[in-house]
Amino acid sequence: MSTQDTPVSSNFIRHIIAEDRNNNKHNGRVATRFPPEPNGYLHIGHAKSICLNFGMAIENNGSCNLRFDDTNPEKESIEYMEAIQRDVQWLGFSWDNLCHASDYFEQLYAYAVQLIEQGLAYVDSLSADEIRAYRGSLTEPGKESPDRSRTVAENLELFARMRAGEFNDGAYVLRAKIDMASPNINMRDPAIYRIRRVHHQRTGDAWCIYPMYDYTHCLSDALENITHSLCTLEFEDHRPLYDWVLTQLNTPSHPQQIEFARLQLEYTIVSKRKLNQLVMENHVQGWDDPRMPTLAGLRRAGFTPKAIKDFCERIGLTKQNSWIEMGVLEYCIREDLNENALRAMAVLQPLRVVITNYPEERCEQLCLSNHPQRPELGHREVPFARVILIEQDDFAELPPPKYKRLILGGEVRLRGAYVIRCDEVIKNEHGQIVELHCTYDEATLGKNPEGRKVKGVIHWVAQDYSYPAEIRLYHRLFTVPQPDNEENFLSVLNPNSLDVLHDCRVEASLAVASSEQRFQFERTGYFCLDSLDASKEQLVFNRTVTLRDGWVKD
């Protein structure tokens, strides 16, 4: 954890675990797990759970498993499993055991047989619709299925035949026999096995019945000797079922389920189902599109594990669902990049400047610091020549009040180089500015001459000694803060979430940048090479975040 920068605040789960250790509960052991379903890529919400589960294990000298809850084969895949492992490792965590609920299928089956033998589970032939109708509602108790009174022998035989593949999908389910009148609907004889003839990515066609999530989850936790089963609030109402299954089966270990609030982040979505829809319907370019709140997307945008872990610590842990502002995540990445990103110059929208009194063939190598506050990060050479490029908006014909950059007849400092004065504005036949003619003052290299104070500093690159680059600017993916609360979240997609600038020029040192490096381009933001599309022939940079918080205003 980034304990150095972020004060580690306490939270209720830290308290519970500390207390359990003091009381020697679970023999003082702490064992957690992060249990994703491999039906999509991990998102920033999962990062909260990852940091919590792995973090608690690390802090308490315990262990943490990565467990795939792979009981829904039609939605799951090996691609997702691999991506999930990659993302957890990228965050900097390593699991003690890599587990799969499917590793326990045989054992889960044996436990189900045990429940039947104890008279606590029965095979039901009601259809899914009938089961729903029988379930009752929050105000009405449920109705018992006619099959609830089947004998143990009958149930055992039918369950064996379900497994043997004698029945069609949906013909039967195995249900726990709990209480159809329970005020908690989850306790009204929930299904624990269903028939599903689907190929499973790990067990192939060995099974045509699959255990349900609630039943599988608690038993997987128990089989792995988990001590603290940390999950999100929506499982609070499932806790009685979690405890019921473990108590009835008298499992050797009985983990303790503790719920915390999910992360909800403004202007984005953290639901794999909806993120999947964005990908499948091509609203974004893939799970790792830099606009996506997935870890793969954030990584490609240039976010660092440090910033994400810092964010997860900072937002804290409570039992209250709330929305976190995007500004918090941006603050964390800015903190990291301000300290660690190398400074460089890139001109996003170039305007040609000819320095008329600078010799034609001359090219000087100027020495610029890679990080003004961190001399240990060294220097680089930046070529300077007669024709340079500056940002179009660093020159104004009709300057607004307090404008400190270049104006006709005015002076400005070129970062790390000379002071120039604009003598002439050259326009085309449509009246558009095509280039500026300036003169430089040789005495101003690296210092202001006596009695002359030049306030504005702008960035630049030498036209013939810079490289072309494509630069991608990302904006929020949705136009409203809580897209998840919209009836149709697609209707509030931001149609302008990506700006691609094709004619950018970057300083020569960036031609050999690596995709691990992070840069602060003077005044325009923090950037990194696009790990997918950038090549030696075509530089492509992604903007991770702007330099300052423009979020509220734009």
- Enumerate binding residues for ligand ATP (CB under 6 A): 35-37, 45-46, 48-49, 231-232, 262-263, 270-272
Interaction partner, residue 147 (Mg ion, ligand ATP, none; CB < 5-8 Å by kind): none
Residues that bind Mg ion (CB under 5 A): 37
Q: Which residues contact 488 (CB under 8 A, 6 or more apart)?
A: none
According to DSSP H, which parts of 165-294 are helical?
Answer: 213-223, 239-249, 272-280
Which of helix, strand or coil describes residue 34? strand
User: Which one, 45 or 302, has the nearer CB to ligand ATP?
Assistant: 45
User: Which one, 36 or 142, has the nearer CB to ligand ATP?
Assistant: 36
Interaction partner, residue 45 (Mg ion, ligand ATP, none; CB < 5-8 Å by kind): ligand ATP
> Taking the C-alpha atoms of 96, 99, 103 and 104 in order, what is their torsion angle to the nearest 10 degrees?
80
> Is the C-alpha dihedral spanning 454, 460, 464, 465 positive or negative?
positive
Interaction partner, residue 35 (Mg ion, ligand ATP, none; CB < 5-8 Å by kind): ligand ATP
Interaction partner, residue 190 (ligand ATP, Mg ion, none; CB < 5-8 Å by kind): none
User: Which one, 237 or 464, has the nearer CB to ligand ATP?
Assistant: 237
Least distance in angstroms from the C-beta of 271 to Mg ion: 10
Interaction partner, residue 83 (Mg ion, ligand ATP, none; CB < 5-8 Å by kind): none
Report how far residue 343's alpha carbon sits from residue 362's, in angstroms, rounded to the nearest whole number.
Answer: 25
User: Which one, 68 or 111, has the nearer CB to Mg ion?
Assistant: 68
Selection from 469, 340, 358 nearest residue 414 by Cα: 358
User: Which one, 76 or 522, has the nearer CB to ligand ATP?
Assistant: 76
Query: Is residue 324 a contact partner of residue 481, using CB atoms and an 8 Å limit?
Result: no
User: Which one, 5 or 37, has the nearer CB to Mg ion?
Assistant: 37
β-bridge pairing 256-260 and 228-232:
parallel
Least distance in angstroms from the C-beta of 66 to ligand ATP: 10
> Taking the C-alpha atoms of 179, 182, 186 and 189 in order, what is their torsion angle to the nearest 10 degrees?
20
What values do phi and psi take at 379, rounded to 5? -130, 170
Report how far residue 47's alpha carbon sits from residue 184's, in angstroms, rounded to the nearest whole number.
Answer: 30
Least distance in angstroms from the C-beta of 72 to ligand ATP: 10
Q: Per the residue annotation, which of 37, 154, 435, 470 is the catalytic one?
A: 37
Q: Is 262 among the residues known to form the active site?
A: yes
According to DSSP H, which parts of 165-238 are helical?
Answer: 213-223
Query: Is residue 122 a contact partner of residue 150, using CB atoms and an 8 Å limit?
Result: yes
User: Which one, 81 or 529, has the nearer CB to ligand ATP?
Assistant: 81
Q: What single letter denotes the amino acid at residue 255? A: P
Interaction partner, residue 36 (Mg ion, ligand ATP, none; CB < 5-8 Å by kind): ligand ATP
What values do phi and psi take at 176, rounded to 5? -75, 140
Least distance in angstroms from the C-beta of 35 to Mg ion: 9
Residue nearest Mg ion, Cβ-based: 37
β-bridge pairing 498-507 and 466-474:
antiparallel
Least distance in angstroms from the C-beta of 44 to ligand ATP: 7
Selection from 346, 348, 440 nearest residue 385 by Cα: 440
Least distance in angstroms from the C-beta of 270 to ligand ATP: 4
Interaction partner, residue 271 (Mg ion, ligand ATP, none; CB < 5-8 Å by kind): ligand ATP
Residue nearest ligand ATP, Cβ-based: 45
Which of helix, strand or coil describes residue 53? helix
Interaction partner, residue 462 (ligand ATP, Mg ion, none; CB < 5-8 Å by kind): none
Q: Per the residue annotation, which of 196, 262, 404, 523 is the catalytic one?
A: 262
Selection from 34, 33, 39, 36 nearest residue 80 by Cα: 39
User: Which one, 34 or 440, has the nearer CB to ligand ATP?
Assistant: 34
Q: What does the block give as tokens for 324?
A: 């976190």
Q: Per the residue annotation, which of 21, 150, 194, 272 is the catalytic one?
A: 272
Distance of CA 529 to the CA centre of its chain: 18
User: Which one, 217 or 476, has the nearer CB to Mg ion?
Assistant: 217
Report how far residue 111's alpha carbon sits from residue 130's, in angstroms, rounded to the nearest whole number.
Answer: 26
Interaction partner, residue 55 (ligand ATP, Mg ion, none; CB < 5-8 Å by kind): none
Query: Is residue 230 a contact partner of residue 256, using CB atoms and an 8 Å limit?
Result: no
Least distance in angstroms from the C-beta of 37 to Mg ion: 5
Q: Measuring CA to CA, how many Å separate 252 from each of 100, 220, 222, 224?
A: 20, 12, 7, 10
Q: Is 19 among the residues known to form the active site?
A: no
Q: What single letter denotes the amino acid at residue 40? A: G
Report how far residue 37's alpha carbon sits from residue 42's, in angstroms, rounded to the nearest whole number.
Answer: 10
Least distance in angstroms from the C-beta of 113 to ligand ATP: 27
Least distance in angstroms from the C-beta of 283 to ligand ATP: 17
Q: Is 234 among the residues known to form the active site?
A: no
- By annotation, the residues acting in catalysis are 37, 262, 272
